[in-house]
Amino acid sequence: MNIRKAEKQEAGVISELLYSMLGQIARDHTASSADDEALRVLQTYVESDCSRYSYKNITVAELNEEIAGVMICYEGEQIEAFDQPMVSYVREKTGNSKWLPDRETEAGDFYLDSIVVGESYQGKGIGSMLLQSAFQEAESRKLPLTLNVEFDNEGARALYEKMDFYVTGTRYISGKPFYYMKRNA
């Protein structure tokens, strides 16, 4: 198992994994109702240098020379700059000059935006290894690690609480309620 930073040329595989987990959020962030179009636009975000979904913010778990898992992390104060290309794209496509993505994190936090393990690789400790990488990065930056967990995913909430995360509030993302959870550095 190799945990490493993503490379730009891996955007296709990474986008597919992310899309499998993000679903409606990805469709909102790409202004696309069709899966193929949303996936194509998501891939351009992954390929870009300045995006919350940029390969530069992605850590991958590689097993047998295949990407088995993906994690996106970045500092909360960077979110507005990271989201600017997406905001411009969605506003132009929809004609809604006021569109903004839901606020998922805050300045002063190291935010774990997304973590996903491919279906055939689940149950092998890959998610835990990616999380350990996030813990180390947050500690090196001396920032708390934060994430959002859907209200109806009590199993994930319980798992994160065992890892010293605690609920600090509620966020609404794509119309769904999420627990905003924090783990101190």
Q: In angstroms, rounded to a whole number, what is the distance separating the alpha carbons of residues 80 and 181?
A: 20
pLDDT at position 185 is: 80
Q: How high is the pLDDT of residue 131?
A: 95
In tens, the pLDDT along 12-67 reads 999 999 999 999 999 999 999 999 999 999 999 999 999 999 999 999 999 999 99
Q: What is the CATH number of the domain that holds 151?
A: 3.40.630.30
Output the CA torsion sign for 161, 165, 171, 175.
negative
Number of domains in the chain: 1
139-174 tens-digit pLDDT: 999 999 999 999 999 989 999 999 999 999 999 999
Task: Identify whether the C-beta of residue 84 lies closer than 8 Å to the C-beta of residue 52.
Answer: no
pLDDT of 108 reads 97
| pTM of the predicted model as reported, rounded to 2 decimal places | 0.94
pLDDT in tens, 111-139: 999 999 999 999 999 999 999 999 999 99
Q: In which domain, by residue range, is 120 found? A: 2-183
pLDDT over threshold 90, residue 97: yes
